[in-house]
Structure 1
């Protein structure tokens, strides 16, 4: 069939909403795909009525802008059809699943089950008071922890096995309310929330809440939803600090400090934790990692000159480059600091477990310290190798 005579048909299962001043989000509701498009692409889509062929669409839109029927064919049938936005019998479309970076993930609680708790929590997320309360909680928690740093350090180092088990149970409960916070903020601003699940990210156990519907919200609301889990954790940590001042029981500070450490990790913008999504919404780039790596690759392959980069693109190159450099610094630092622990990691783990199970040694929280760096090293290296092999297989 001649390209010019092809008639594109727009799927009835799409929603189009503004993302920022210059971009829009198109969601394919049947398959769950979402893509960002600019105004020019949206103007072309608006000309698709199921009757006009590519030649007619080109006459209405493209000729005076240097757009050809072949370019329209590539856009509509080569790109948008793969997401189910344009109907095509030649394209097999799969429903979008859970994010690929989550491994062994499964649903813990359905959204209907958590709805009563979400409704109770949603009043906590007033957009007028949110940042004020977030700042107050942060000052209370981190100010107290800094003032009592030495006693907290001693408490962490002397946790016995029973206290360690209790801490893990407590940490799981806090993680649950962290995800409930995301769902409650989502509900507060009128977006749908999905199920709460469990999986592994970089071999670390994580809970996650499906709040993908926040793409409908304005950026300031999306940022609050992304920070809402941290907000809830700070609220819990503040309550623990209050209990400490009332009872003078050091364990409350120990648990509060554990929450605080997880918060700092959560704000890391280079891993797909809350800080990553906050930065993504702040600069208006939905798939920050992919977009930044893509433009960095173009720069290295001389497809794009760094002198021609402007604004957001320059930041994306800086972000991708910083991310890669930090990985190398972390790996190099671990290798220099604990090369013996990395080389003997399997042997050390086997010896430790043998001593614990034979009751020659009692497990303590501080025992984990000597395994943290080797675990980070091997997880990072293997993740990079798997990604590289996967990319080579695609080619």
Structure 2
């Protein structure tokens, strides 16, 4: 018998902080909140909990004060059995999500590749595959990529994207014993696959880093397979696919969009909600730089530099594309509609990717992401999940 629910999971996150999981939502709690949870989970009633609290914290709260105190602490955390607050999963940037594989089935399939995520094995193969990808990217003549059927590329690339998400699932399951689903959704106007690996919050830092890199890792294995097939058969479609996978993999590691690289940097620096926190830091600095310098906050300089550099990189890319690729940008919606029409009418041979197609795709994604993120920064109140 306890005063709170017993279906929660709490694990160490970093020094003085823990991850609390409730109803699929995750909260970062500090040492004091962790101690309060321990008290509430072991006491039979509020009188006993109050006595334990006052003893442990050398306090003299009354029962009414104690009740009000814990209600304030857990305002947004549905820890109580009769809590009227529902745990809500954080809003994702992937919309219209549809489950393709259940957590059970995704975990079963992922178990066949889990051996690849042995820590020693991973740290041997990931650098080697990355170097192979760099070699491929710089030694593949662009002229060899002409006259390739985009239909075959799309079909085979979709398989590698599934393996990308399966890699995340396999790593998460190996390190935590749990995983979520693999699904389909829409990012901006583009169909994408996603994997639910929220359980990785309970892994240690190295395991979270490996899980973040797991998708790229699996695609680099695909790159090696397709490149090897090219050397045996001289099939240019295989070369194009290996080249394309390499470029996409390295783009994924860029930490200035919500990609694998973003989550990687977030875990390396132990900074949850990195984009939101850096945006808040930039906003505070611009509003009053003198007060910002005087204030003492954890990682404020890093967050400011990341926020400024992030916005500078995105702005530079968007401006250069508007100046040098404006025709491709304007034609892009028409080109996409034409490709969709040709696919639905089975005229696959007529599908032609426009020049700078992938760069234009990245432009629209970054533009959409920049507009939505900055809109939320300006018009949405700051939300804290660290207690």
- After superposition, the C-alpha distances for 1:164-218 in whole angstroms (9 at most, x for unaligned) are 1111011110000111111112222243111110112233322111111111211
User: Per the alignment, in what secondary structure is the counterpart of residue 271 of structure 2?
Assistant: coil
- Structure 1: which 5+ runs fail to align? 1-7
- Structure 2: which 5+ runs fail to align? 382-387
Between 270-279 and 78-87, report the one with greater CA deviation: 78-87
1:51 equivalent among 31, 46, 65 = 46
Decide whether aligned partners of structure 1 residues 43 and 370 sit closer, same or farther in structure 2, where only a CA change above 3 A counts. Answer: closer
Q: Hey, what's the Cα distance between the residues in 1 that align with 2:251 and 2:331?
A: 27
Report if aligned partners of 1:191, 1:217 keep a CA contact under 8 Å in 2: no
User: Per the alignment, in what secondary structure is the counterpart of residue 122 of structure 1?
Assistant: helix
Q: Hey, what's the Cα distance between the residues in 1 that align with 2:134 and 2:286?
A: 42
Q: Hey, what's the Cα distance between the residues in 2 that align with 1:62 and 1:284?
A: 28
Report if aligned partners of 2:172, 2:200 keep a CA contact under 8 Å in 1: yes
Q: Under a length normalisation based on structure 1, what TM-score does the superposition of the two structures give?
A: 0.80
Q: Hey, what's the Cα distance between the residues in 1 that align with 2:20 and 2:196?
A: 18
Provide the aligned C-alpha RMSD in A. Answer: 3.7
Q: Hey, what's the Cα distance between the residues in 1 that align with 2:157 and 2:336?
A: 24
User: Per the alignment, in what secondary structure is the counterpart of residue 93 of structure 1?
Assistant: coil
Report if aligned partners of 2:11, 2:18 keep a CA contact under 8 Å in 1: yes
- After superposition, the C-alpha distances for 1:12-54 in whole angstroms (9 at most, x for unaligned) are 22221100122111111xx222111222332333343441499
Q: Summarize the alignment of residues 84-123 of structure 1 with structure 2, pairs less than 5 Å apart.
A: 84-86=78-80, 89=83, 91-96=84-89, 99-123=91-115
Q: Under a length normalisation based on structure 2, what TM-score does the superposition of the two structures give?
A: 0.81
Q: Hey, what's the Cα distance between the residues in 2 that align with 1:257 and 1:391?
A: 37
Report if aligned partners of 1:196, 1:207 keep a CA contact under 8 Å in 2: yes
Report if aligned partners of 2:39, 2:53 keep a CA contact under 8 Å in 1: no
Q: Hey, what's the Cα distance between the residues in 2 that align with 1:350 and 1:216?
A: 43
Partner of 2:146: 157
Give the Å deviation of 1:59.
4.0
- After superposition, the C-alpha distances for 1:73-122 in whole angstroms (9 at most, x for unaligned) are 78632452322024565x4314427x421112111111333344322111
Matched, 1:189 2:175: yes
1:80 equivalent among 74, 78, 89 = 74
Q: Hey, what's the Cα distance between the residues in 2 that align with 1:282 and 1:298?
A: 24
Partner of 1:285: 271
Decide whether aligned partners of structure 1 residues 95 and 101 sit closer, same or farther in structure 2, where only a CA change above 3 A counts. Answer: same
Partner of 2:385: none
User: Per the alignment, in what secondary structure is the counterpart of residue 35 of structure 1?
Assistant: strand
Between 134-143 and 346-355, report the one with greater CA deviation: 346-355
Between 336-345 and 258-267, report the one with greater CA deviation: 336-345
Q: Hey, what's the Cα distance between the residues in 2 that align with 1:74 and 1:51?
A: 12
Matched, 1:11 2:5: yes
